Every structure is written in structure tokens, then in C-alpha cells.
């Protein structure tokens, strides 16, 4: 969480920093700030997002500076807790992403030595340490400062007396250097600076970088110089623009056919290559958070059916505390950002246990791509909306592709069946388009449920995790309380909450669960609930049980989650839009969760 940026070069730093912060805003939007040095330090920060910052920003001239957009961890989102932070003399400015875990002890120690703290943040200790260690060289001061810090951090700092110099340090939280011509950049991620350069150096944990407009110098925390050349990134900025849609989320929902197609292409699913995978695990454990966890949960059914491999799914934040057992599963970590701290820590835990790890990641060059033993890339492109949509859909495609390959490797699936499934998969973009075509109809249903305070989402078997995801989408962007349940579980407690004021979305596609789902729908409609059914084209029976029905094309049961999920995304989107919610930036959330 939090987005940080630094610039040194010949342009006016303010312009570069503000445009970078706009692109980083998805990482946090509680407050924002900017500091520009020009002989003296000029700083402006406030509660609120980047647009607010721009509206109150006076003309500031200067060719090096830093900026920050915050997702609050320590201290509420008020002006004083916003970054950049200044030292006591107002000469050093610092921005931070991460959590300094020993901040309480350091604060006490620094206060005893006379430092005056102006915020409640964990970050401020770092700027006072820099002040204590500064003897004319900020890089040296940074090296001494990091020896005192525990926790996660990407730090970027500058000193008003060290003209044109920006210093960064990384431990766990991401930091990337953009290499320009007579200008250099530092940012939390690539899109923030892609407008200016596509030549990137990814900083690793335990490294310090010093930028001037002419030079990029990387050292380790001991001061040993590290030579690393830049890599050209192939990423388009198009993804960072709304392209005529009202919201990034809607644009990203409509980009799913393309994202699916690209991910299938990247999966290299063909008989000529023998569906090679190189993996024949005895068991699989999938670890992830949030929406990625739901994708993993869908994957469990795919691995079990196609490869007959027992598969468990665990929340990454919980896996770390589980006991090591005699089972030696292949651990699959799923993360669109590749930066989620809980998932990265779980991967490390698995590796310490001697387990093989495979990462399913969307962002090329992200931390997970370096930490997992092997990587499968989803090819969703840049996703800006905080609520994951196209990245989730491509995670489902990744699961399917890997399950098909593993099935062939374990001989649970013959090549002919693999080929048939692959051909079916290739029809998914078209099938998704036919769900997208029903957006207006889904909007009409959304109007009927927008007034609800609570909702239920039901599904069974492979569509149970889709119900969980449908509920998550609804609650995170519309703020309507929503719960996902397996259809059969309601009668064991939650049915007590079902009334004529709790709309129910029920996935009742034509598969082995169909009959049972109709029974579950009967149970909730008998309690007065309005039911929105999601069914398979041509299923006239379902219409008799529900108030509204949305049909998906008839596809093999294992593929239905891709289509039922799109219905849920559109429903959540329209409800949130009708309610006037901040769809792309839901309250309290951030796109990249780099705290534990
Ligand atoms: C919800 C959402 C989150 C993320 C979760 C994991 O729409 O996007 O639940 O799925 O924070 O993020 P990644 O996939 O980046 O590890």
C-alpha cells in the first residue's frame, strides 16, 4: 500500500510527481503530499486524494522532488500523518511505503534525544534517524538508518543541501528505478513513470539506490556497489486510461475477452508441445488472498477433476501459522500484483519447508516473480480498478490451463480430452462477450437490489467459490453487506437471516448441482427473498423458481465459473454505480496490499 515517487532531472519535478501520483493512486488515497527542493525545501500535503492536492498546490519550481499517496496504517488520515515527513530542521524530506515495526521504541529513543515528532506515524522515526546520521552525505545516512529499522519499507528521501540527489532503500516493499536520459526516477511501480521511460531497474531487498540526473548507483546495505543494467518493459499505458468508460472497473470487465485470449495464448496449450508441464505433484496447496484466493478455490475443483490430485486452498495470511506436516505439496501462490506481503511470506514459509513453489502473477518484474521457483503469467494487462476483475478471470484461465497440463502429465487426462477442453477454452472469449451483452438487463436487476442492506450469494461445488467472489465484489464496491454460501449450508444457520429484504443471487447452472440448487432456491424464496438466478441458456425450469434470471452460454461445467463470475461483476458494478459509490477506489482499500 501507499505509492511513492521520486524525480531528478531537467523537468519541473512537480509535473512528473503529480502525474506519477495519479497513476499510483490505486495504492492508497487517504492523503497525499509532495516535496520539491530548490535550495530550500517546499512541502505540501493534506488529507484527501491527488485531485485535492493538485487543487491546493501553489506554483513550486524545482528539478528534484518526492511524492506520496497514502493508505493509512499508523495514525488516521490527517494532514500531519501525510507524507512527506520532514526532519526537525526541515532539510530532509522522506516518503515511505511499508511498516516500521520497531517504531515505538525508536520514537521514545529519538524523543529523549530532543527530536520533535509531528505525526503519529511509524514513518517519522526514519526521517529523524536520517537527520541524526547526516554528515553531508544522505546515502551514508540512509545506510546507517536502515540498520536501525525493523519491518518493511521502501524509503525515498532527499536533502535540500544535496542538490539533485534522491536516495532510496528497499526491504520487502517494492521500488523500481526508471532510467531516463539526463533524468532518473524512483517509484513503487512501473506505470507511475512509464510515460517518461521504459528502462527499469527493479531494486531488491537490502539495496540502496542513489540517483542524480546523470547517475544511478546501487549498493547493498553494507555499501558494496552492485552493477545491474536496466530492462526494457513491455507495458502499454493505454491500460492506465479509462478509454471512454465511466470507470476503470467497467473498462476492465469489458476487456476480459481479450485478457482471456492472451492468457490462453501464453499458456502454450497444444498437443505438439505435449502439454508439457514438468510437474507431477502428489498433492497441491494453493495460497492467496482475497479475490486471488477465490480463483485458487475454483482451481481446486479443476485440479481434482482433471488431474485427480488432492488440492487444498488456504488463505496466505493463515498458511504462515500452520504446522509443517509430512505432506509435501506443490505450493501454488496466486497474486495479481505479485507484491501482496501475506502471499509472499507464505511462499517463503513454503520454501523454508522445502516445498516447490509456483507463482501465478500478473505483474511482470514484481517481487513474486523473483521469489517463486517457477512462474505462470496471467496476461490481463494493467488493472487500475481496486476491485479485481480481469486479473481474476485470467487467474481462472491459469488454473484451467495448469489443471489440463497436470492432468496430461499425470495421465488422468488423455491428449484427445486435453485438446477438446483446449478448444472449448478458446471459445470462452466469445462466450464472455455474450454475457457482457446482457449488461443492460443486469443493470435493471441492479436497480431492484440497490436498496438492500444485506444479500446472499449461493453456489455449489465449483460455483461455491464464485458465490464467495460475488459477495466480495458486492460488498467491496457497493458497501452492501453480502455473504457467499454453499447452497446446502444455509439451513444450518444463515437461513435465519433471510427475509423479503435480503435479495439472493443463486448460481444454478446445468451441472450435477442443478437439482439441489433449485431446492435451495425454494428454501429462500419461501422466506420471501427475491431471487436472481444465474442459469444455463435454455433452462426454462429455473425461470419458475426465481424472480429474475440471467443466462450464460452452455459450456462444460468446469468452465462455468468464468461466465457466472462475469454476471456477478456486472451486478456489483451496476449496484455500486446506482448508489453513487467511488467504484474504482472503494473506501479503506488499496490495490496492492503490502502490509501484513
Ligand atoms: C478484491 C481484490 C483483493 C485482492 C487481494 C490479493 O477485489 O482485488 O481481494 O485479490 O488483495 O491481491 P493480489 O492478487 O495482488 O495478491
| Same domain flag for 458 and 534 | yes
pLDDT tens for the 596 residues of the chain, in order:
689 999 999 999 999 999 999 988 877 778 999 999 988 899 999 998 888 999 998 888 999 999 999 877 777 888 999 999 999 999 999 999 988 989 999 999 999 999 999 999 999 999 999 999 999 999 999 999 999 999 889 999 999 999 999 999 999 888 999 999 999 999 998 889 999 999 999 999 899 999 999 999 999 999 999 999 999 987 776 666 776 789 999 999 999 998 999 899 888 887 666 677 767 899 999 999 999 999 999 999 999 999 999 999 999 999 988 888 888 999 999 999 999 999 999 999 999 999 999 999 998 778 899 899 999 999 888 888 999 999 999 999 999 999 999 999 899 999 999 999 999 999 999 999 999 999 999 999 999 999 999 999 999 999 999 999 999 999 999 999 999 999 999 989 998 999 999 999 999 999 999 999 999 999 999 999 999 999 999 999 999 999 999 999 999 999 999 999 999 999 999 999 999 999 998 888 777 776 66
- CA 89 – ligand 1 centroid, Å: 40
For residues 161 and 91, the answer to whether their CB atoms sit within 8 Å is: yes
270 assigned to some structural domain: yes
Q: Whose CA is nearest to atom 16 of ligand 1?
A: 335
Q: Whose CA is nearest to atom 12 of ligand 1?
A: 335
Among 28, 289, 335, name the best residue to mutate to test ligand 1's pocket (greatest count of ligand atoms within 8 A of Cβ).
Answer: 289
Q: How many CA atoms lie within 13 A of 365 on its CB side?
A: 21
Query: 216 - beta bridge partners?
Result: 211
Q: Whose CA is nearest to atom 8 of ligand 1?
A: 388
Among 6, 14, 39, CA closest to 163: 39
Q: Which atom of ligand 1 is nearest to the CA of 340?
A: 16
590 assigned to some structural domain: no
Residue where one domain finishes, among candidates 365, 397, 426: 426
| Same domain flag for 417 and 438 | no
Supply the residues annotated as catalytic. Answer: 2, 591
Tell me, using a 6 A CB cutoff, whether residue 1 lines ligand 1: no
- Cα gap 153→377, rounded to integer Å: 26
Cis geometry, peptide bond prior to residue 84 (ω within 30 degrees of 0): yes
| Same domain flag for 418 and 434 | no
595 assigned to some structural domain: no
Residue where one domain finishes, among candidates 391, 426, 461: 426
Q: Quick one: DSSP state of residue 490? A: G
Q: Which atom of ligand 1 is nearest to the CA of 293?
A: 10
Tell me, using a 6 A CB cutoff, whether residue 368 lines ligand 1: no
199 assigned to some structural domain: yes
**Domain encompassing residue 207:** 3-233
- Number of helical H runs and strand E runs in the chain: 19, 25
Tell me, using a 6 A CB cutoff, whether residue 340 lines ligand 1: yes
- CA 291 – ligand 1 centroid, Å: 5
What are 137-145's contacts with CB under 8 Å, separation 24+? 137/162, 138/92, 138/162, 138/165, 138/167, 138/210, 139/165, 139/167, 139/208, 139/210, 139/217, 139/219, 142/167, 142/169, 142/208, 143/208, 143/219, 143/221, 143/222, 143/223, 145/169
| Same domain flag for 389 and 508 | no
Number of domains present in the structure of the chain: 3
Integer angstrom CA distances of residue 559 from 74, 372, 411, 552, 562 = 43, 27, 21, 11, 6
576 sits in which H/E element: helix 560-578
| Same domain flag for 79 and 213 | yes
Q: Whose CA is nearest to atom 11 of ligand 1?
A: 290
| Same domain flag for 219 and 288 | no
| Same domain flag for 296 and 247 | yes
Amino acid at each position: 500500500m501507499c505509492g511513492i515517487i521520486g524525480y531528478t532531472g531537467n523537468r519541473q519535478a512537480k509535473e512528473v510527481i503529480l502525474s506519477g501520483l495519479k497513476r499510483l493512486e490505486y495504492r492508497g488515497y487517504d492523503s497525499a503530499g509532495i516535496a520539491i527542493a530548490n535550495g530550500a525545501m517546499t512541502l505540501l500535503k493534506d488529507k484527501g486524494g491527488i485531485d485535492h492536492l493538485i487543487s491546493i498546490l501553489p506554483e513550486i519550481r524545482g528539478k528534484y522532488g518526492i511524492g506520496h499517496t497514502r493508505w493509512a496504517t499508523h495514525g488516521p488520515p490527517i494532514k500531519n500523518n501525510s507524507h512527506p515527513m520532514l526532519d526537525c530542521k526541515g532539510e530532509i524530506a522522506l516518503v515511505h511505503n511499508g511498516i516500521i515495526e520497531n517504531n515505538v521504541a525508536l520514537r521514545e529513543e529519538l524523543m529523549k534525544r530532543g527530536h520533535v515528532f509531528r505525526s503519529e506515524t511509524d514513518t517519522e522515526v526514519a526521517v529523524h534517524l536520517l537527520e541524526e546520521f547526516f554528515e553531508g552525505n544522505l546515502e551514508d545516512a540512509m545506510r546507517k538508518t536502515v540498520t536501525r529499522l525493523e519491518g518493511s519499507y521502501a524509503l525515498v528521501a532527499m536533502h535540500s543541501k544535496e542538490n539533485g540527489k534522491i536516495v532510496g532503500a528497499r526491504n520487502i516493499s517494492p521500488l523500481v528505478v526508471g532510467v531516463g536520459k539526463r533524468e532518473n526516477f524512483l517509484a513503487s511501480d512501473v506505470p507511475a513513470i512509464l510515460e517518461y521511460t521504459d528502462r527499469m531497474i527493479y531494486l531488491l531487498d537490502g539495496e540502496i539506490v542513489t540517483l542524480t540526473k546523470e547517475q544511478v548507483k546501487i549498493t547493498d546495505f553494507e555499501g558494496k556497489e552492485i552493477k545491474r543494467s536496466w530492462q526494457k518493459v513491455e507495458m502499454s499505458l493505454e491500460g492506465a486510461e479509462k478509454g471512454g468508460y465511466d470507470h476503470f472497473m467497467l473498462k476492465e470487465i469489458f476487456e476480459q475477452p481479450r485478457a482471456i485470449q492472451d492468457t490462453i495464448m501464453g499458456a502454450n496449450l497444444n498437443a505438439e508441445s505435449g502439454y508439457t508441464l514438468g510437474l507431477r505433484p502428489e498433492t497441491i496447496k494453493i495460497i492467496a488472498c482475497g479475490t486471488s484466493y477465490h480463483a485458487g478455490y475454483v482451481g481446486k475443483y479443476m485440479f481434482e477433476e482433471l488431474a485427480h490430485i488432492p488440492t487444498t486452498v488456504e488463505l496466505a495470511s493463515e498458511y504462515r501459522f500452520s504446522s509443517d506436516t509430512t505432506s509435501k505439496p506443490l505450493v501454488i501462490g496466486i497474486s495479481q500484483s505479485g507484491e501482496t506481503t501475506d502471499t509472499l511470506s507464505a511462499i517463503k514459509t513454503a520454501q523454508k519447508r522445502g516445498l516447490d513453489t509456483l507463482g501465478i502473477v500478473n505483474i511482470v518484474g514484481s517481487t513474486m516473480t523473483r521469489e517463486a521457483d517457477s512462474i505462470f503469467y496471467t496476461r490481463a494487462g494493467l488493472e487500475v480498478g481496486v476491485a479485481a476483475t480481469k486479473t481474476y478471470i485470467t487467474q481462472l484461465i491459469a488454473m484451467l490451463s495448469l489443471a489440463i497440463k497436470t492432468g496430461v502429465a499425470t495421465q488422468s487426462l488423455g491428449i484427445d480430452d486435453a485438446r477438446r477442453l483446449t478448444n472449448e477454452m478458446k471459445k470462452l472469449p466469445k462466450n464472455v462477450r455474450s454475457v457482457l451483452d446482457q449488461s443492460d438487463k443486469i443493470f435493471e436487476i441492479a436497480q431492484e437490489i440497490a436498496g438492500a442492506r444485506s444479500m446472499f450469494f449461493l453456489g455449489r461445488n465449483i460455483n461455491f467459490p464464485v458465490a464467495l467472489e460475488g459477495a466480495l465484489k458486492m460488498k467491496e464496491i457497493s458497501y452492501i453487506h453480502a455473504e457467499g454460501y454453499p447452497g446446502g449450508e444455509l439451513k444450518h444457520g444463515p437461513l435465519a437471516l433471510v427475509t423479503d429484504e435480503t435479495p439472493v443471487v443463486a448460481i444454478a447452472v446445468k451441472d450435477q448441482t442443478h437439482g439441489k440448487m433449485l431446492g435451495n432456491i425454494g428454501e429462500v424464496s419461501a422466506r420471501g427473498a427475491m431471487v436472481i438466478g444465474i442459469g444455463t441458456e435454455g433452462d426454462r425450469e429455473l425461470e419458475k423458481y426465481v424472480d429474475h434470471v440471467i443466462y450464460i452460454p452452455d459450456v462444460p461445467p468446469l468452465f462455468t465459473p468464468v461466465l457466472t463470475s462475469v454476471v456477478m461483476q456486472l451486478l456489483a458494478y451496476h449496484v455500486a454505480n446506482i448508489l453513487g459509490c467511488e467504484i474504482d477506489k472503494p473506501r479503506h482499500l488499496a490495490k496492492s496490499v503490502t502490509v501484513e
